[in-house]
Amino acid sequence: MFKEGLKIVLSGPSGSGKGTIVRKLIMHEEFKLSVSATTRAPREGEIDGVHYFFKTKNEFRSMIEQNELLEYAVFCDNYYGTPKSFIEEYVKNGKDVILEIEVQGAKQIKAIYPDALFIFVMPPSLSELENRLVGRNTETEEVIRKRLERAKEELSLYKEYDYVVINDTIEEAAKAIELIVYAEKLRSHRFKETIETMLNNKGGF
């Protein structure tokens, strides 16, 4: 029924569970995760080209200069960015491409793709967010403090998104996003070509 996929921008504070939700969603073949580039060091188990394209700062700056990125942002002294060609190819082939990016990057995407679907993922509370960040045991206290301060700034921008999903449990949050995506595909303007073809059918009823 749907010839082209959707561009789905998924944002939220670090520790809100975006990554885990995405891993749940891409278990379904209709979803494809856009692989971002970053200058941060890989975490345990992360693979170059699968979870991120891991770049040096010089390599990343070169990508910016060559206009190879749809958007990029600096967060906690590291660069993050989204390669352009990847998204266009998969959307054209009917895949719903998920862009898991920071709020700053989402603003840039909205200027280029105003028809994209923007979803903000948030934790049930700030105290729960802190528990999740501490529980990851991957960052220093100073970095965690910076992420919590940044989370407050990001939460204040929720109105920039089409939908807000509270991640209380991964299963419920992922299901909510699946339903949002399906409903979005049923918007009337997406049926313009199909209905006009039917109306122009000379054969009648």
* Model pLDDT for residues 87-97, shown as the tens digit of each residue: 888 999 999 99
Residues 122, 167: contact at Cβ < 8 Å?
Answer: yes
Report the DSSP beta bridge partners of residue 9.
99, 118
d(CA 93, CA 74): 31
Is 81 contained in some domain? Answer: no
pLDDT tens-place string over residues 85-124 = 788 889 999 999 999 888 888 888 888 889 999 999 999 8
192 in a structural domain: yes
Does any domain span residue 135? yes
> What is the count of structural domains for the chain?
1
- Residue 167 inside a domain? The answer is yes
48 within a domain of the structure (yes/no)? no
Domain holding 123, by residue range, is: 7-34+94-199
Which CATH number fits the domain that encloses residue 155?
A: 3.40.50.300
- Which pair of tokens denotes residue 151? 């989370």
Q: Within a domain: residue 139?
A: yes
pTM above 0.75, yes or no: yes
Q: For the CA atoms of the chain, what is the radius of gyration?
A: 19
Nearest to 52 by CA among 101, 106, 104: 101
Taking the CB of residue 19, how many other CB atoms lie within 10 A of it?
16
Tens digit of each residue's pLDDT (9 = 90 or more) over 30-84: 999 998 899 999 999 999 988 889 999 999 999 999 989 988 888 888 999 888 8
Q: Is residue 141 part of a domain?
A: yes
Determine, yes or no, domain membership for 126: yes
Residue 155's contacts (CB-CB under 8 Å, 6 or more residues apart) are 13, 122
Greatest extent of the chain over all pairs of C-alpha atoms, in Å: 71
18: its two tokens: 């975006």
